């Protein structure tokens, strides 16, 4: 006999808890409560049936915790001495990751979390593995909750493209064009081409003069080397002067030498690079545009090619490589793609163009 399913209720803030309580809740069945301080709601919790509830990293007074445990609820306790919340209920933003930047990049949560990951990698600490996995699960859940109204277009490319470079400006114009066409720009979240595409989306509502002003200001600090702090501070200043929806970025602490750019409005930062890549490429169903890059970009090309290669016409995702000479001669990926695509449905979904205007038209 099939058991009836219990609808899940996600509670990620005290305000949401109070809202559900005010609506007349009598049971916590199906509740998934993430990282909420409920120490001041003990009386309310004791008045609710706890069977089937789940509390992840919440602060609970002992009477409430005992009531939940004894009544069939499940409590995942807070993990001490972590520089991050493994049960967080939302994605990151630039202000959170770069909090405390005035004291130097090393003082920011982004830097401290990366340092923690490297320290525990070296020790082979299984506690670190569990904490990182819980964190990445929470990020995946928060990413799933983003509004799904606009198609995602992935923009991939090298992190080494400097601000002030013509290729950087081209990537800005690409992101701006995509956002103006009602698409969500999604990147790997790093510097270079990825930053430029998120910046372009941020500037979608502004005129060409604003784009020039933003690019001139950023060109004064062209790279995150030698100073991530100066690079991020310049980006934050431009972001505050020209607020806008910069789309989504999905970076990783696995590549700690690549700091996250500040222009994405939603930042889904993972510990696991494999999970991050899979999520990014899997969500970009509207198409993926590849600007010139190196090993990371090549990996992303062939990771996306595999489902196209084995898929049918209905499952194809457009893949557009920008730069005929680059992808044919400098890094000759295109000849191999042509060989793979021959006589398969993917032949129509893989394209090579020379300009961002052509690329934008193919996914708009």
pLDDT in tens, 52-89: 999 999 999 999 999 999 999 999 998 888 999 999 99
Average pLDDT along the chain? 94
Quickly state the pLDDT bin for 1 (edges 50, 70, 90). Answer: very low
- The architecture CATH gives domain 152-286: 3-Layer(aba) Sandwich (3.40)
Q: What pTM does this model have?
A: 0.92
Average pLDDT over every residue of 85-94: 96
Average pLDDT over every residue of 318-333: 97
Per residue in 102-150, pLDDT tens?
999 999 999 999 999 888 665 667 778 889 999 999 999 999 999 877 9
Tell me how far apart the alpha carbons of residues 50 and 69 are, in angstroms, rounded to a whole number.
8
Omega into 226 within 30° of 0, i.e. cis? yes
Long-range contacts formed by 145-152: CB under 8 A, 24+ apart: 145/10, 146/91, 146/248, 146/266, 150/182, 150/183, 150/184, 151/183, 151/184, 151/285, 151/286, 151/287, 152/183, 152/184, 152/186, 152/248, 152/283, 152/284, 152/285, 152/286
* Ramachandran category for residue 123: left, alpha or beta (phi over 0 → left; psi -120 to 50 → alpha): alpha
Percentage of the chain beyond pLDDT 90 is 89
Domain segments of the chain: what residues? 9-76, 152-286
Tell me how far apart the alpha carbons of residues 285 and 81 are, in angstroms, rounded to a whole number.
39
Residue 8 is predicted with a pLDDT of: 84
Per residue in 240-277, pLDDT tens?
999 999 999 999 999 888 999 999 999 999 999 999 99
* N residues, the chain: 364
Inform me whether the pLDDT recorded for 40 exceeds 50. yes
Residue 200 is predicted with a pLDDT of: 98
Residue 120 is predicted with a pLDDT of: 65
- The DSSP bridge pattern shows strands 184-187 and 350-353 to be unpaired
Per residue in 175-199, pLDDT tens?
999 999 999 999 999 999 999 999 9
């Amino acid at each position: 006999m099939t058991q009836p399913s219990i609808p899940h209720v996600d509670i990620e803030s005290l305000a949401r808890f109070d809202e559900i309580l005010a609506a007349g809740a009598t049971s916590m069945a199906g509740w998934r409560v993430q990282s909420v301080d409920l120490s001041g709601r003990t009386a309310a919790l004791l008045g609710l049936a706890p069977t089937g509830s789940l509390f992840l990293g919440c602060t609970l007074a002992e009477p409430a915790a005992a009531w939940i445990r004894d009544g069939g609820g499940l409590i995942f306790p807070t993990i001490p001495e972590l520089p991050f919340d493994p049960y967080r209920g939302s994605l990151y933003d630039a202000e959170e990751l770069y909090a405390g930047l005035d004291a130097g990049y090393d003082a920011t949560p982004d830097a401290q979390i990366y340092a923690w990951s490297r320290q525990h990698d070296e020790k082979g600490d299984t506690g670190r593995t569990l904490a990182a996995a819980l964190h990445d699960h929470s990020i995946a859940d928060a990413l799933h909750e983003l509004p799904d109204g606009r198609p995602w277009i992935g923009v991939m490319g090298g992190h080494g493209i400097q601000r002030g470079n013509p290729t950087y400006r081209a990537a800005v114009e690409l992101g701006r064009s995509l956002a103006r066409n009602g698409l969500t720009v999604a990147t790997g979240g790093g510097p270079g081409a990825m930053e430029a595409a998120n910046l372009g989306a941020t500037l979608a509502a502004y005129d060409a003069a604003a784009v020039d002003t933003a690019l001139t200001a950023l060109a004064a600090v062209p790279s995150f080397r030698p100073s991530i702090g100066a690079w991020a501070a310049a980006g934050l200043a431009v972001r505050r002067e020209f607020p806008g929806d910069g789309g989504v970025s999905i970076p990783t602490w696995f590549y700690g030498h690549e700091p996250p750019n500040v222009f994405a409005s939603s930042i889904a930062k993972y510990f696991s690079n494999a999970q991050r890549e899979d999520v990014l490429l899997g969500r970009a169903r509207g198409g993926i545009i590849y600007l010139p890059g190196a090993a990371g970009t090549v990996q992303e090309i062939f990771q996306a090619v595999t489902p196209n290669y084995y898929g049918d016409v209905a499952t194809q995702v457009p893949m557009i490589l920008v730069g005929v000479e680059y992808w044919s001669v400098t890094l000759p990926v295109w000849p191999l793609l042509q060989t793979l695509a021959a006589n398969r449905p993917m032949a129509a979904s893989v394209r090579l163009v020379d300009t961002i205007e052509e690329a934008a038209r193919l996914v708009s």
